[in-house]
Amino acid sequence: MSCERFKFIDLFSGIGGIRIPFEKLKGECVFSSEIDEACQETYRANFGEKPEGDITKIPPKSIPDHELLLAGFPCQAFSIIGNQKGFADTRGTLFFNIEEILKEKRPRAFLLENVKQLRTHDGGKTYNVIHKTLQGLGYNVYTKILNSLNFGVPQKRERTYIVGFLENLDFDFPQGEKEYNLADVLEEDREVSKSYFASDYIVKRRREAIKGKPPMPSIWHENKAGNISALPFSCALRAFASYNYLLVNGRRRLTEREMLRLQGFPESFKIVVNYSKMRQQTGNSVTVPVIEAIAQNMLEAMGLKKKGKRGKK
């Protein structure tokens, strides 16, 4: 893989899911920011540095120069799981901190990630504000919703990705054509602690609710209405869902390592927080292989990577 070196910043960095593929492609992270202390702990254990804290208190001028700005900016303000207040929610306005950094530092390109509902929130008005703001800064903007299932990861996770370039470049989003296999993600039940297994009552209730013979292996999902489905992939990991909303083969919760695998994190990724925190962190994270596919196409368009097989529009 032939890539030229470049510098990037990692905003709202979480546990570093966006950083991993850009570093793999010879990028150097010169600044990171994350307000959550538990995420900072995981980030430091895996990257050897503690992210800066609250981005709203960091002057844009103090941020090092960079060629790419990367940000999985907070999505709760636009999510169907939240109240969908958008820019009326303080977390929604954090987008404007990204705007100020783009205005001050003028990186060649950016990649932003958010929930699928960003495109349709408030009748499309929220996205239109974001799009016009980015265009007003001189960027050529591309947006697409991608599903992690199409990138070799057994998780149905649809997210909005926004890419922008100061130059007028030939960029396509990757289509994603890799097959997934849930069995590759799961551990053997005999190797999993009994503490992960659901109560007999929950297991019995789930089995009674399933019609027909479920696929094996499968992830059994209970939605907010109480409906239960058994699928050969996981529904989207969520940070603050019930502990038992996803059960492996209807019997047990996902382990920390399985959750990381569902987001495409490498096996070497260190787990340094408790189960509850890791569930929140993976639920808020990005899917690494999706980011890597986008990153490759971005770097090709920018002339930082030799062109290979490109995804279709």
**Residues marked as catalytic:** 75
User: Among 208, 204, 188, which Cα is nearest to 196's?
Assistant: 188
Say how far apart CA 37 and CA 43 lie, in whole Å. 10
CA 5 centroid distance within chain:
24
Residue 231, amino acid: L
Q: To which residue do tokens 């939605």 refer?
A: 223
Say how far apart CA 9 and CA 238 lie, in whole Å. 25
End-to-end Cα spacing for the chain = 23
Say how far apart CA 11 and CA 46 lie, in whole Å. 16
Contact residues for 82 (Cβ-Cβ < 8 A; gap 6+): 76, 89
Phi, psi of 110 (to 5 degrees): -145, 160
Say how far apart CA 157 and CA 67 lie, in whole Å. 28
DSSP string, 2-28: -B--EEEEEET-TTSTTHHHHHHTTEE
Length, in residues, of the chain: 313
CA distances from 93 to 32, 35, 87, 98, 293 (A): 19, 15, 5, 10, 28
Residue 282: exposure state from Cβ atoms within 10 A (0-12, 13-18, ≥19)? buried
Can the peptide bond before residue 217 be classed as cis, meaning omega within 30 degrees of 0? yes
